[in-house]
């Protein structure tokens, strides 16, 4: 950041959207207490691991507490009033999610997380629609959750997997993708934002390329939905998945969005209660989507918490969140690039994530020393071992940001890395 320029500190309360537009370039932001809504972050602790899981604001905690302590009942089954009220709240959350990503509510399937959403598509769409000789296209930066399910279905069905390389600045190479795609490719599965590099995919461009050869596009949106506006219709993809816990919501809840015609053509993932039309010992018929894919008693309170989390981030404003994190990323890259032994990965304009290495120091040692200074980062392969091989490192250290972070956290990280270099010489 230029000397003397202050960071865009964000309003962090549900009425933030009514406080006026964000400042224009060159204007200063009034500093606000970013920690006020996050009781699990004590003063002086720099939590820089939001890409792994976000801390929870008080409105989400309150929604979960109310769900269990005051309002709890099952959904879609009881005829008594509280059950009916909880069913209404549960389905209102589905409508809220749909509006959040520009979808229709009957296209929203609640799952345990993005991992389950990808596995569902792998088994119920790819596993039933693809045939021996068909091909799947991934990229070199994918999370294991967007690699392993496709390998499993490929092995079971005689499919082949191809991998798109990265550009020099660590983005998915769409020119290479265009050259690789053939009519044999039936599915492309890519991350919207890399969980290691923070690089942002041109989803609309990728969708156009995939559709140009008749392939479907699945997008892993885990790192995108907490920090940027997502409109699946505008993006043009066919499936989109994300997890609630990275969106300041609870664990154990996530979303699979799929185009209605695709979901309708897919068989169910699991059998049990709620996903049926009629059951006899001779034969069972299934409910239409999304109920077809939601067997058993769902994570009711998790869905309520996800609703509250979406309300929260939209109250802050996704444009403000993105601007805030962009400033933090730039400040971090500036600070770390000034340390000779540090290597930075990813593009300059990475979204909310900075991965790095310190020469001669294992990332686990970096993480341990930083923890002594009350700075929490992620250290490891980040469930992206093929990418680590491509980068030529066994692991990286990763700082990732959320609405509660500030320049003080960036300064604490930089001081910690300087301490690491002193300790290891």
Give the residue numbers marked as catalytic: 383
Across-strand partners of 138? 163
Query: What CA–CA distance (Å, rounded) separates 55 from 49?
Result: 9
d(CA 123, CA 175): 29
Please tell me the distance from the alpha carbon of residue 234 to that of residue 94, in angstroms, as a whole number. Answer: 20
> CA–CA separation, 369 vs 351, rounded Å?
26
Cβ count within 10 A of residue 322: 18
> CB within 8 A of 158, min separation 6: which ones?
131, 132, 133
Task: Give me the residue label for tokens 């999304």.
Answer: 290
**Using CA of residue 334, residue 336, residue 341, residue 345, what is the dihedral sign?**
negative
For 385, list phi and psi in degrees, rounded to 5.
-60, -40
CA-nearest of 425, 273, 263, 404 to 341 is: 425
* H helices present in 101-145, as ranges: 114-121, 127-129
The SS3 call for residue 357 is: strand
Cβ neighbourhood burial of 372 (10 Å; 0-12, 13-18, 19+): exposed
Burial class (CB within 10 angstroms; exposed 0-12, middle 13-18, buried 19+) of 350: buried
Smallest CA-to-CA distance from 62 within 311, 236, 277 is with 311
Rounded to whole angstroms, how far apart are CA atoms 256 and 376?
30
Nearest CA to 74 among 66, 83, 65? 83
Q: 197: which strand partners? A: none
């Amino acid at each position: 950041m230029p000397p003397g320029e202050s960071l865009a500190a964000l309003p962090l309360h549900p009425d933030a959207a009514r406080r006026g537009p964000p400042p224009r370039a060159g204007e200063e932001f009034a500093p606000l207490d970013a920690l006020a809504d996050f009781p699990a972050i004590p003063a002086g602790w720099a939590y820089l691991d939001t890409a792994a899981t976000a801390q929870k604001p008080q409105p989400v905690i309150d929604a979960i507490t109310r769900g269990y302590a005051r309002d709890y009942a099952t959904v879609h089954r009881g005829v008594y009033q509280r059950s009916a009220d909880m069913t209404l709240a549960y389905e209102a959350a589905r409508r809220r999610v749909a509006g959040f990503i520009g979808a229709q509510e009957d296209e929203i399937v609640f799952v345990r997380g993005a991992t389950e959403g990808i596995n569902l598509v792998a088994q119920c769409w790819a596993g039933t629609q693809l045939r021996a000789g068909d091909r799947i296209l991934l990229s070199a930066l994918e999370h294991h959750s967007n690699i392993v399910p496709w390998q499993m279905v490929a092995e079971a069905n005689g499919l082949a997997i191809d991998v798109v390389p990265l550009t020099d600045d660590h983005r998915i190479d769409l020119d290479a993708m265009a050259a690789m795609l053939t009519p044999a490719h039936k599915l492309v599965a890519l991350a919207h934002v890399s969980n290691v590099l923070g690089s942002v995919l041109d989803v609309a461009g990728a969708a156009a390329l995939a559709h140009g050869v008749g392939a479907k596009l699945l997008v892993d949106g885990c790192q995108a939905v907490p920090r940027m506006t997502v409109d699946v219709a505008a993006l043009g993809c066919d499936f989109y998945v994300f997890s609630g816990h990275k969106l300041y919501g609870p664990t154990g809840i996530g979303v699979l969005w799929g185009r209605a015609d695709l979901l309708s053509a897919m068989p169910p993932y699991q059998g049990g209660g709620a996903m049926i039309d009629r059951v006899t010992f001779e034969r069972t018929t299934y409910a239409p989507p999304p109920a077809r894919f939601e067997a058993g008693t769902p994570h009711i309170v998790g869905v309520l918490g996800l609703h509250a989390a979406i309300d929260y981030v939209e109250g802050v404003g996704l444009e403000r969140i993105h601007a805030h994190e962009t400033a933090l990323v730039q400040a971090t890259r500036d600070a770390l690039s000034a340390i000779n032994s540090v290597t930075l990965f990813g593009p300059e304009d990475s979204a909310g994530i900075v991965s790095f290495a310190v020469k001669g120091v294992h990332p686990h040692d970096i993480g341990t020393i930083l923890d002594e200074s009350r700075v929490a980062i992620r250290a490891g392969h980040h469930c992206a071992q093929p990418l680590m091989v491509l980068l030529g490192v066994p692991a990286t250290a990763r700082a990732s940001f959320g609405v509660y972070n500030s320049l003080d956290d960036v300064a604490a990280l930089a001081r910690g890395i300087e301490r690491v270099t002193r300790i290891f010489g």
